[in-house]
């Protein structure tokens, strides 16, 4: 396989054979002493075995979990019965349906990876459940399984988020993709990040899913392509037709039972499967867990910065004292230049996987010669949408 020497790369450099070569590896169970089996290159752990191993030798156990998710492993593992309390899962399911009912018609209901109406998506289910039933929340999120896998991959001080996905009978499969951060950026944007940041992106988050219903194969549990996270150009590969075709022919799917947890490297190619049942609502609590490092050292009030700098910037632009490159440089010191975190109920991406940023909004208003008064209103609306 071609080694990647370039600092930057583009989607033109994708070679399907490079991806395929990585995905043809076979998992060696001997390297994972705590796992009790391997199914289709996915490591399977029993919750009790993990518990015993953590008591015996936490460092070795965390190292093993890390290796499973890293570029020397398959990138994916399942913990059987990670949440054994079925009544607790039922309580959460009841809350999810109540939240969905409450939200029906009140939000734009956007889901950037699935057709509208095909599934029930709850953005920021973490906060919504916490407010709806603090007791159910605390018994659910105190689960040490979450902490062990998160700490193994991200170190201490990780931060939880949750996005519930209920795929109704007949719900279609997603397109294969990678996840946050770079998985939410276009090929063009990805190509502007050095490859070192592509590697880093997959170390900054962990993707998890807790099964809140049984997920037999015909209900469409997550389609996975073990080892695909090892492909360095993969963040720019998943929209390519030949990669989609390869994924369609080689992905694996494991049936899950209610209470099982799936964890995978966010760079692993995956997609929710099609629900072919007539009556099973496949309920998964998708956990996206972040490392603590994605935060700035100082807290900056970008809204106020934008507000104070707009008039001067507009004037400079109108007087040709600022060219486009200078404007784009300047805006990174004024506005929030990243689309996340945001409120995905309100700040729904339009045609892309990421909503537009405060910086893009600022630049567009300057280019459109919007008056300072109008900009202030527009900025307030944007901020209200992102962080009401």
Q: Which residue is at the shortest CB distance from Fe ion?
A: 179
Write the DSSP string, 50-114: HHHHHHH-HHHHHHHHHHHHSTTS-SEEEEETSS--HHHHHHHHHHHHHHHHHHTTTS----TTS
How would you class 109 by CB atoms within 10 Å of its CB: exposed for 0-12, middle for 13-18, buried for 19 or more? middle
**Measured distance CA(71)–CA(285) in Å, rounded:** 25
Residue among 41 and 165 whose Cβ is closer to Fe ion? 165
CB 140, min distance to Fe ion, A: 21
Q: Which is nearer to Fe ion, 179 or 336 (CB)?
A: 179
Q: How far apart are CA 253 and CA 273, in angstroms?
A: 8
For residue 209, what are the β-bridge partners?
262, 286
Least gap, CB of 207 to Fe ion (angstroms): 7
CB 285 within 8 A of CB 92: yes
Spell out, one character per residue from 128 to 167, where the chain touches Fe ion: x when CB under 5 A holds, - when not. Answer: ----------------------------------------
Q: Does residue 347 interact with Fe ion by CB under 5 A?
A: no
Report the C-alpha gap between 198 and 235 in whole angstroms.
Answer: 7
Site for Fe ion in 52-71 (CB under 5 A): none
Per-residue exposure over 240-269, b if at least 16 CB sit within 10 Å of its own CB, e if not: eeebbebbeebbebbebebbbbbbbbbbbb
Q: How many residues belong to the site for Fe ion (CB under 5 A)?
A: 1
Q: Report the C-alpha gap between 330 and 13 in whole angstroms.
A: 32
CB of 241 to Fe ion, least distance (A): 20
Residue nearer to Fe ion on the CB measure, 270 or 361:
270
Using the minimum distance from each CB to Fe ion, give the nearer residue, 189 or 378.
189
* Count of C-beta atoms within a 10 Å radius of residue 6: 12
| Contact present, 164 and 127 (Cβ < 8 Å) | no
Contact 153, 229 (CB under 8 A): no
The nearer residue to Fe ion, 111 or 179, going by C-beta atoms, is 179
Range 55-91 burial, b when 16+ CB lie within 10 A, else e: eeeeeebbebbbbbbbbebbbbbbbbbbbeeeebbeb
CB of 172 to Fe ion, least distance (A): 15
CB of 133 to Fe ion, least distance (A): 27
| Shortest Å distance, C-beta 179 to Fe ion | 4
Helix and strand numbers (H, E) in the chain are 14, 11
User: Is 18 or 179 the residue whose CB approaches Fe ion more closely?
Assistant: 179
Comparison of 35 and 122: residue with beta carbon closer to Fe ion: 122
Stretch that binds Fe ion, among 16-24, 36-44, 173-181, 326-334 (CB under 5 A): 173-181
Would you say 226 or 331 has its CB closer to Fe ion? 226
Give the interface segment with Fe ion, choosing from 61-69, 171-179, 225-233, 352-360 (CB under 5 A).
Answer: 171-179
Q: Which is nearer to Fe ion, 238 or 317 (by Cβ)?
A: 238
Angle between helix 302-318 and 372-386 (nearest 10): 150
Scanning 84-92, 176-184, 211-219, 276-284 for contacts with Fe ion by CB under 5 A, the matching segment is 176-184
Q: Does 111 bind Fe ion (CB under 5 A)?
A: no
Stretch that binds Fe ion, among 179-187, 218-226, 254-262, 289-297 (CB under 5 A): 179-187
Does 179 bind Fe ion (CB under 5 A)? Our answer is yes
Q: CB of 174: closest distance to Fe ion in angstroms?
A: 7
Where does this chain bind Fe ion (CB under 5 A)? 179
């Amino acid at each position: 396989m071609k080694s990647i020497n370039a600092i930057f790369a583009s989607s033109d450099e994708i070679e399907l054979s490079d991806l395929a070569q990585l995905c043809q590896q076979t998992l060696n169970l001997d390297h994972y002493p705590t796992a009790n089996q391997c199914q289709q290159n996915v490591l399977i752990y029993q919750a009790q075995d993990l518990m015993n191993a953590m008591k015996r030798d936490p460092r070795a156990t965390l190292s093993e979990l890390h290796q499973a998710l890293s570029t020397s492993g398959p990138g994916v593992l399942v913990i059987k019965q990670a949440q054994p309390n079925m009544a607790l899962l039922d309580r959460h399911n009841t809350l999810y349906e109540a939240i969905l009912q409450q939200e029906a018609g009140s939000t734009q209901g956007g889901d950037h990876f699935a057709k509208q109406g095909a599934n029930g998506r709850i953005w920021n289910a973490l906060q919504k459940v916490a407010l709806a039933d603090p007791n159910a929340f605390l018994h659910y999120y105190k689960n040490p399984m979450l902490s062990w896998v998160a700490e193994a991959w991200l170190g201490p001080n990780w931060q939880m988020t949750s996005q519930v996905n209920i795929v109704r009978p007949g719900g279609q499969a997603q397109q294969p993709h990678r996840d946050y951060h770079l998985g939410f950026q276009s090929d063009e944007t990805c190509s502007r990040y050095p490859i070192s940041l592509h590697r880093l992106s997959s170390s900054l988050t962990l993707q998890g899913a807790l099964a809140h219903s049984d997920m037999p194969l015909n209900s469409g549990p997550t389609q996975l392509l073990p080892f695909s996270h090892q492909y360095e150009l993969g963040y720019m590969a998943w929209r390519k037709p030949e990669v989609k075709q390869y994924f369609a022919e080689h992905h694996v799917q494991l049936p899950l039972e209610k209470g099982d947890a799936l964890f995978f490297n966010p760079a692993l190619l995956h997609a929710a499967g099609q629900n072919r049942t007539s009556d099973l609502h496949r309920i998964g609590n998708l956990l996206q867990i972040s490392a603590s490092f994605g935060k700035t050292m100082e807290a900056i009030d970008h809204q106020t910065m934008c507000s104070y700098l707009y008039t001067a910037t507009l004037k400079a632009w109108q007087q040709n004292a600022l060219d486009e490159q200078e404007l784009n440089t300047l805006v990174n010191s004024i506005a929030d230049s990243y689309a996340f975190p945001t409120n995905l109920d309100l700040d729904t991406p339009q045609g892309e996987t990421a909503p537009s940023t405060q910086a893009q909004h600022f630049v567009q208003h300057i280019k459109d010669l919007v008056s300072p008064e109008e900009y202030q209103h527009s900025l307030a609306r944007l901020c209200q949408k992102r962080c009401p």
